Amino acid sequence: MDTGIKAINEQVKEKSAVVDALLGEVSKAIVGQRYMVERLLLGILTGGHILVEGVPGLAKTLAIKSIADAIDCSFKRIQFTPDLLPADLTGTQIYNPKDGTFTSKKGPIFANLILADEINRAPAKVQSALLEAMQEKQVTVGDNTYKLPDIFLVMATQNPIEQEGTYPLPEAQVDRFMLKLKITYPSKEEELEILERYTTGKEIKVSKVCTLKEIEELKGIIPEIYVDDRLKKYVVNIVDSTRNPENYGLDDLKILIDYGASPRATLSLITAAKGLAAIRRRGYITPEDIKAVAPDVLRHRIIVSYEAEAEQIDSDAIIRKIFDEIEVP
């Protein structure tokens, strides 16, 4: 490890000390779900937004609210409904009859952490307003354009079991999310611990353990995390294999994939791996970091064919086949 990498490694070790404190504090309220909490923190540190799919009652709201409490930052929960309007997110202009002027009233989108609950229940205009804010990091209210906070994360949720009365997100919009998480039920041991904690009547309070400034400092050095050229080629091969599987000895996948991952997936894969390395207190990424985040980065970017659906093969199964075949540097 040369001097430059050592320096970055030391910086990351120093700045990422807040991560352990943050995860430890959040675990007071959240039993298990380490994967979801870690990915939420990854999104905060890299500026990438997250789409979460899971049935109700799996602590999705509690997880992001607990993180907001531990960082001492602003948090807003927006319940998406069919009658929601774009102005309900972004804000509106209010007329002042005394002097005949308009003043801007900012909407809930201006918080640091946003929970967009059941995003697929709102019509396309509202979804577009949210996704535009995510992409541009700014919102226009009337004639005024306002920047969103530097620390800004949208965690959107979808219910996988109830699709009546929903407006599914188009693939092009889903691609704007850096990660898509699939949240599952807790283990029996974890569920027993949930019972122990939440049936005693005692309030479980998450305390502030770090500041926005500390998170911003760690976020600022993540782009400098070292990535070996061989790992860059490894990531490009992984993404390219979703488009041209026959070039990698994966001829059987050709018929299973309608559309492969976009170049945005390549960028997100490296960015997410850097974020995970920072959480694990390293100034360089390893193949294990890439493998850990790849399913979350790619599962919503690979469009499976009708043949794959008929054989009940999903994008996760395709990703596993790719990683079994692509040579690790």
**Residue 1 covered by a domain:** no
Q: Is the pTM of this model over 0.85?
A: yes
Do 249 and 204 reside in the same domain of the chain?
Answer: no
Range of the domain at 284: 225-325
* Residue (of 271, 154, 284, 293) closest to 219 by Cα position: 271
Do 142 and 267 reside in the same domain of the chain?
Answer: no
Do 209 and 235 reside in the same domain of the chain?
Answer: no
Do 172 and 245 reside in the same domain of the chain?
Answer: no
Mean pLDDT for all residues in the chain: 86
Looking at 219, 241, 262, the residue that finishes a domain is 219
* Residue (of 248, 265, 245, 279) closest to 46 by Cα position: 279
> Is the model's pLDDT at 146 over the cut of 90?
no
The burial of 197, by beta-carbon neighbours within 10 Å (0-12 exposed, 13-18 middle, 19 or more buried), is given as: middle
> Is the model's pLDDT at 243 over the cut of 90?
yes
Looking at 219, 239, 266, the residue that finishes a domain is 219
Q: Looking at residue 166, what is its pLDDT?
A: 61
Q: Looking at residue 4, what is its pLDDT?
A: 76
Looking at 157, 186, 219, the residue that finishes a domain is 219
**Residue 51 covered by a domain:** yes
Q: Which residue has the tokens 């005692």?
A: 202
Record the tokens describing residue 50, joined without a space.
Answer: 């997250």
Pick from 41-55, 92-106, 202-216 the range whose average pLDDT is largest: 41-55
- pLDDT tens digits, 147-190: 888 889 989 888 776 655 566 777 777 888 999 998 888 888 98
Collect all residues with Cβ–Cβ distance below 8 Å to 9 and sequence separation of at least 6. Answer: 1, 282, 283, 284
Do 180 and 69 reside in the same domain of the chain?
Answer: yes
| CATH (domain of 309) | 1.10.8.80
Return the half-sphere exposure (C-beta side, CA atoms, 13 A cut-off) of residue 67: 31
Do 66 and 159 reside in the same domain of the chain?
Answer: yes
Residue 168 gets which letter from DSSP?
Answer: P
Do 267 and 138 reside in the same domain of the chain?
Answer: no
pLDDT above 90: percentage of residues in the chain: 26
Q: What is the mean pLDDT of residues 233-257?
A: 91
**Residue 108 covered by a domain:** yes
* Residue (of 231, 260, 248) closest to 321 by Cα position: 248
Q: What is the mean pLDDT of residues 16-39?
A: 86
Calculate the alpha carbon distances from 147 to 49, 107, 140, 302, 313 in Å: 17, 13, 9, 32, 42
Q: What is the mean pLDDT of residues 299-303?
A: 90
Do 201 and 238 reside in the same domain of the chain?
Answer: no
Q: What is the mean pLDDT of residues 267-274?
A: 95
Q: How many domains does the chain have?
A: 2
Collect all residues with Cβ–Cβ distance below 8 Å to 66 and sequence separation of at least 6. Answer: 25, 26, 28, 29, 30, 206
**Residue 313 covered by a domain:** yes
- pLDDT tens digits, 197-224: 888 878 888 888 888 888 888 898 999 9
What is the pLDDT confidence band of residue 268, given thresholds at 50, 70 and 90?
A: very high
Q: Looking at residue 274, what is its pLDDT?
A: 94
Q: What DSSP assignment string belongs to 108-156?
A: GGGSSEEEEETGGGS-HHHHHHHHHHHHHSEEEETTEEEEPPSS-EEEE
**Residue 10 covered by a domain:** no
